[in-house]
Amino acid sequence: MRRRDLLFVLLGPLVARPAAVAAQQRPKVHVILWVSTQAQPDPFIAGFREGMREIGYVEGQNLAFVLRYAPGDPAAVQGMLPELLATSADLIVSSGPATQAMRAATDRPVLFAISGDPVALGLADSLARPGRNFTGSTFLSLEVAQKRVQLLRELLPRLRTLAVLSNTRHPGEQSEYEATRQAADILSIRLAYVPFATDAELDDALDRVRSASAEAMLVFPDGVTMVYRAKIADFAKTNRLASMFGWREYSEAGGLASYGANQRAPIAGSRPTPIACCGARSPPICRSSSRPGSSS
């Protein structure tokens, strides 16, 4: 299933009414509750609005957004839950760490885009059959994780030690690290694993990267490193470390290079598939099929 089909899967039933009836009534305004831990301006909301326009939902006409942000603070989303659950909305859209908190929303469809494993996070029974009111896209790709190591070796033929900055609370983190380790072993690159668990630990983690005597730094993509991408990129430049990231937004913030799927495309759609989305009928979760791209 293509990503844009998901929007029709979720919203198609809301407009499946006879044209003659629709012509006699004012358009129903469908409400989307957008929950994010990204910093504002959010780099993804514009792309999502564009995707909605392409399938006939125009803000100010038949679409309205309720935007709720907790930049870099998933715990704050938990604190906002009473307000979020009381918000009247036809669809909830969440990304990154905010998605975990939205597991409490069981009475309406939730569309997500995460970089981790939705099964490990408890959002779905499987990618093919989510079995709940959640569906969406995951960017997790172990092959892409290995490719990042290979690209770093191409950039730095004498690379011997690679620092790996990783959020251990990111679902799928250990699988991503294992794939990275395998690629590094083949190329005889030593990994200096630098884990952290919260944004409060990030400064200490960067100090450990500085002490690792590495020639380059690989940063696993997740919600926390995304929020602090400019800080991490500045750290790499200050310490003369070649840096590799997972998404183009890191390079736009000053990182040396990135390789991964286009984060701005996962929830936009193309052709209508007006079927219901609820419970076991939730459409399959998409692995990001956008052709990986590099940026530097």
Question: What CATH number is given to the structural domain containing 130?
Answer: 3.40.50.2300
By three-state DSSP, how is residue 144 classified?
helix
Position 64: which residue type?
A: A
69: three-class secondary structure by DSSP:
strand
Q: How many domains does the chain have?
A: 2
How many CB atoms are located within 10 Å of the residue 1 CB? 13
Identify the CA nearest to 268 among candidates 96, 108, 137, 120.
137
Domain check: are 119 and 256 in the same one? Answer: no
Question: Within 13 Å of residue 228, how many CA atoms lie on the same side as its CB?
Answer: 22
Q: Which residue has the tokens 């990783």?
A: 166
Element (H, E) at 237: helix 229-238
Q: Which residue range forms the structural domain that includes residue 214? A: 142-260
Per residue of the chain (296 residues), give pLDDT as tens: 555 555 555 555 554 554 444 455 678 999 999 999 887 777 778 888 888 898 899 999 999 999 999 987 888 999 999 999 999 999 999 987 788 889 899 999 999 877 677 887 778 888 777 878 888 887 778 899 999 999 999 999 999 999 999 999 888 899 999 999 999 999 999 999 999 998 899 999 999 999 999 999 999 998 889 889 999 999 999 999 999 999 888 999 999 999 987 665 544 443 223 223 333 345 665 655 445 556 66
* Residue 295 forms part of a structural domain: no
Query: What Cα–Cα distance (Å) separates residue 281 from each residue in 8, 31, 110, 135?
Result: 14, 22, 13, 10
Tell me: do 126 and 179 sit in the same domain.
no
Residue 296 belongs to some domain of the structure: no
Both 161 and 108 in one domain: the answer is: no
pTM of the model: 0.67
Are 129 and 274 contained in the same domain?
yes
- At residue 111, the 3 state secondary structure works out as strand
